[in-house]
């Protein structure tokens, strides 16, 4: 919550950044073939 409110300290910002990167990594590597997670559509 501190991140969203702009009150996070350096430790909290670093932990959030690391957790976010891990989430993105998992989505791209572990769930890339799951159509319920990632959908690619022409625009």
Q: The whole model's pTM is what?
A: 0.68
What is the per-residue pLDDT across 23-32, written as a single tens digit (0 to 9) for each? 999 988 998 8
Cα 28 from Cα 4, distance rounded (Å): 24
Question: What pLDDT does residue 35 have?
Answer: 87
What is the per-residue pLDDT across 1-43, written as a single tens digit (0 to 9) for each? 898 899 999 999 999 999 999 999 998 899 888 988 888 889 9
Kindly list the distances between the CA atom of residue 35 and the CA atoms of 2, 10, 16, 41, in Å, as whole numbers in the listed order. 33, 36, 27, 11
Q: What is the DSSP string of 1-43?
A: -HHHHT---HHHHHHHHHHHHHHHHHHHHHSTT-TTT------
Question: What pLDDT does residue 9 have?
Answer: 96
């Amino acid at each position: 919550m501190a991140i969203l409110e702009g009150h996070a300290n350096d430790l909290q910002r670093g932990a959030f950044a690391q957790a976010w990167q891990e989430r993105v990594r998992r989505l791209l590597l572990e769930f890339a073939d799951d159509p319920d997670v990632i959908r690619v559509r022409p625009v």
